[in-house]
Amino acid sequence: MIDSFFNTGSTVTEIVVKENDNEILKQTCSLKIGKDNKLLEIIEKPKKPPYTFRGCGIYLFKPEIFEFIRRTSIDPIRKEKDITTVINNVAKEGKAYDHFLSGYNININNSDELLKASILFKESLNKKNRSRLK
Q: What is the pLDDT of residue 133?
A: 60
Nearest of 90, 75, 74, 91 to residue 39 by alpha carbon: 91
Q: CA separation (Å) from 99 to 3, 12, 22, 47, 126? A: 10, 10, 21, 25, 28
Could you tell me the sign of the dihedral formed by the alpha carbons of 16, 4, 40, 62, in that order?
positive
Nearest of 83, 11, 6 to residue 44 by alpha carbon: 83
d(CA 109, CA 125): 23
Q: What is the pLDDT of residue 113?
A: 82
Q: What is the pLDDT of residue 121?
A: 85
Q: What is the pLDDT of residue 105?
A: 73
Per-residue pLDDT of the chain (134 residues; tens, 9 = 90+): 898 899 988 999 999 999 988 998 998 899 999 988 999 999 999 999 999 999 988 999 999 999 999 999 998 888 999 999 999 999 999 999 999 987 777 778 788 888 988 988 888 888 776 666 65
- Count other C-beta atoms under 10 Å from residue 75's C-beta: 13
Q: What is the pLDDT of residue 53?
A: 95
In order, the DSSP letters of 45-65 are S-SS---SEEEEEEEEE-TTH
Instruction: Decide: helix, strand or coil at residue 37.
Output: helix
Q: What is the pLDDT of residue 132?
A: 63
